Each structure stands twice: as C-alpha cells, then as structure tokens.
Amino acid sequence: MNIFTMIYEYRSYFLTGIQYTLLLAVIGVIFGFMLGIVISLMRMSRFWLLRFLGTIWVECIRGTPMLVQLFIIHYGLVSFGIKFTPVESGAVTLIINSSAYLAEIFRAGIQGVDRGQAEAARSLGMGSGMTMRHIILPQALKSVLPAIGNEFITVIKESSIVSIIGVADLMYGAQKVSGITYDFLTPLLIIALIYLIITFSLSKLLGLYERRLNASDNR
C-alpha cells in the first residue's frame, strides 16, 4: 500500500489525531500561559516563601521528564483518589510542563523591561501592582511573543507522548494503522509529514507576525 492510499483509507485516524494533537497543544499553552505568569511573578516576589515555591515549581518541572510527569498524574494520583481521563491527564501534564518553561520566558521578559518605566510610573502615583499590570507586563509580553510561539510548536511535538496512555492523537493513530496494516514505517512517515507541515506553517506565521511587530515598533 503506497503512502497516498494509506492516507486516504485511514484518513479518519489521522484527522482525529490532528484534532487531539492541536487541542492538547492549545490547552497546554493557553493555561500554561496563565499559570506561567503567576509562577514568574512568584519567582520575582519580595516574599521569600513565594520565591521559594516558584523556584521549586520551575526546577522540579524542568528537571524531570514529561513522561514521568504524565505517569504521576495519570497513574500516581489514583492512589489519592484523583482520577483523570487520558485526555485530561494529557492536558494537565502539558499545562504544568509548559507553565514552567513559560514562567522563565516571562521572567526574562519582565526583567528586560527598562527599570525607568517602573520608576516613571511610580513618579506618577501608580502602585506596584498597577505598574506591573499596565506598564511592565504589556511590554514584557510583547517582547516574548516569539518565544511563546516557539513553545507552542514545542508542545505540539511533545504532545505525542500522550498516546502512551491512550489519547487518540497522531502517534496513537499511527499505531492503530500499523496494527491494522502490519506496516510500521509508512504510518510513521505520514504523521512525521503532518507534524512537519503543522510546525512549518506555524513557524512561518510566527515569523510574519514578528516582522509586523518589528515594523510597528519602527514607525
């Protein structure tokens, strides 16, 4: 069976895989984005306990394999009466993992904002919270948008591990097609091509958006 025939005959597996892969990636980055901002602010807090907790979160998540995190969430938490469906476990794992990396991206962006901006805001009577919300964060987020886009691409590729717990993503679809056809190479080549198309398209869109941001800054 050639590659085009396989794509057509088993298109339902591949289309379902694309849907789950993109869904998990979007959920992981959006909620990881929100959690990452909180963690980054904790890491820069004046209170040592918040700084300590934020640092422990980042170091523990970045220092352990995502596969281990996935197994802890899907299988380990059952011991405490917490049970997730495979999709929920995959989403929670991607959110947690993504939040640690995004937290460091945000922290670098916030620290990269000129200190004079905060001093000027305080001289106008703005409090630290208002300064962060209206002055620092908008500038920091704008500067790290390309890095956030790259994290989205990374999450798309890393989400393939959720197939291990039965989520019908692209990798799971390839495994199912391989089991039906006894052809283990062609389905893998197909999903590799799909991943490449998705990530290449996103990279080009991000590059276009970044150039527009640079053009608006130069006006």
Domain layout of the chain by residue ranges = 3-218
Q: Structure pTM?
A: 0.88
- Other residues' Cβ atoms within 10 Å of the Cβ of residue 106: 26
Under 8 Å between Cβ of 85 and 46: no
- pLDDT score of 67: 94
Task: For the chain, give the mean pLDDT.
Answer: 89
SS3 content of the chain, % helix, strand, coil (to 5): 85, 0, 15
Model pLDDT for residues 2-20, shown as the tens digit of each residue: 888 999 999 999 999 999 9
CATH class of the region 3-218: mainly alpha
Ramachandran region of residue 81, left (φ > 0), alpha (ψ -120 to 50) or beta?
A: left
